[in-house]
């Protein structure tokens, strides 16, 4: 028996969840397709030909429907394909580099001085860990994902719906995907509600094709269910953004008297969405924000000056 052989890592089995994620992408595409067919093809596009109030009402539904759909799909693919943030190989914090230039006798005094310095009432203090799997240092708020088999910067969670981790560099896109999906499902539910009410009458009188009736019924139920479930997620993540907390950090935050990363609602919001209002509701960042807001890079974060590291 070779005792020098490394023990198997059971967490590698979690990487199989990526296969489930690809199925989820197909499911998202199927739900979008069914909803589009029901709302646009079956219910509202034919009304454009009626003229008058019916056509105007159809435009009121179809224009925001397509706008939200574009923003939803755009945000979704940004979450899927945008890297949430990886730790650079052999990454070392700036603090360690500075401390190398100081003699051992002065290191304690230097560390004390750094911990007491603040900028605009906030501090940037080292909170470094080490990942035994990646064999690399971990920046603050960084966690190892057993599905992706890597450390993710400011990891929030691994989302099977997007086959990707949600972290520092794509969290905004995930939130916009949630928001636009919620708004789209609310609109779809309201747009299909009158047709759903007459569903049973149409089915009894055979006034509509069985295919159209079935698609409309399924689309209404799906959108109603998703809108109700997404409401909980939108409320939860709104609270997390305003308190500068990730899903992983919720338990840690409950144990703290004062959350060290909570630097005010406005600044907490800007650490995710940036300072440029024109980009807040688009899955994009301005170059200026990427340069001036270190938290968007995921390697360092301002902290409250009244909380010890």
Q: Which residues are catalytic?
A: 159
What is 48-110 written as a DSSP string? Answer: GGT-HHHHHHHHHHHHHHHHHHHHHHHHHHHHHHS---BPPTT---HHHHHHTTS-HHHHHHH
Pick from 150, 175, 190: which is nearest to 57 by CA?
190
CB 62 within 8 A of CB 126: no
Q: Under 8 Å CB-to-CB from 231, ≥6 apart: which residues? A: 182
| Summary count for the chain: helices (H), strands (E) | 10, 8
How far does Cα 306 stand from its chain's mean position? 29
CB 218 within 8 A of CB 37: no
| φ, ψ (nearest 5 deg) of residue 145 | -100, 120
For residues 195 and 303, give the distance between their C-alpha atoms in angstroms, rounded to a whole number: 53
């Amino acid at each position: 028996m070779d005792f020098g052989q490394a023990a198997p890592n059971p967490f590698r089995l979690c990487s199989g969840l990526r296969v489930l994620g690809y199925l989820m992408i197909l499911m998202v595409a199927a739900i979008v397709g069914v909803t589009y067919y029901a709302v646009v093809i079956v219910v509202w596009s034919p009304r454009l030909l009626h003229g008058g109030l019916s056509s105007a009402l159809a435009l009121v539904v179809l224009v925001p429907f397509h706008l939200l759909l574009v923003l939803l799909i755009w945000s979704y693919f940004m979450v899927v394909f945008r890297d949430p943030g990886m730790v650079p190989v052999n990454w070392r914090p700036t603090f360690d580099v500075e401390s190398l230039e100081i003699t051992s006798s002065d290191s304690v005094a230097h560390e004390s001085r750094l911990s007491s310095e603040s900028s605009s009432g906030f501090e940037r203090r080292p909170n470094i860990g080490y990942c035994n799997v990646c064999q690399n240092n971990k920046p603050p708020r960084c966690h190892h994902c057993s599905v992706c088999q890597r450390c993710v910067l400011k990891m929030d969670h691994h989302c099977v719906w997007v086959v990707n981790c949600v972290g520092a560099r794509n969290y905004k896109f995930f939130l916009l995907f949630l928001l636009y999906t919620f708004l789209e499902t609310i609109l779809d539910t309201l747009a299909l509600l009158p047709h759903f009410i007459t569903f049973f009458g149409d089915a009894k009188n055979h006034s509509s094709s069985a295919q159209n009736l079935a698609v409309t019924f399924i689309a209404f139920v799906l959108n109603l269910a998703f809108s109700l479930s997404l409401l909980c997620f939108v409320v939860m993540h709104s609270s997390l953004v305003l308190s500068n907390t990730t899903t992983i950090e919720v338990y840690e935050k409950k144990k703290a008297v004062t959350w060290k990363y909570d630097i005010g609602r406005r600044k907490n919001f800007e650490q995710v969405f940036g300072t440029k209002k024109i980009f807040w509701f688009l899955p994009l960042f301005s170059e200026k924000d990427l340069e001036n807001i270190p938290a968007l890079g995921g390697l360092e974060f301002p902290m409250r000056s009244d909380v010890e590291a």
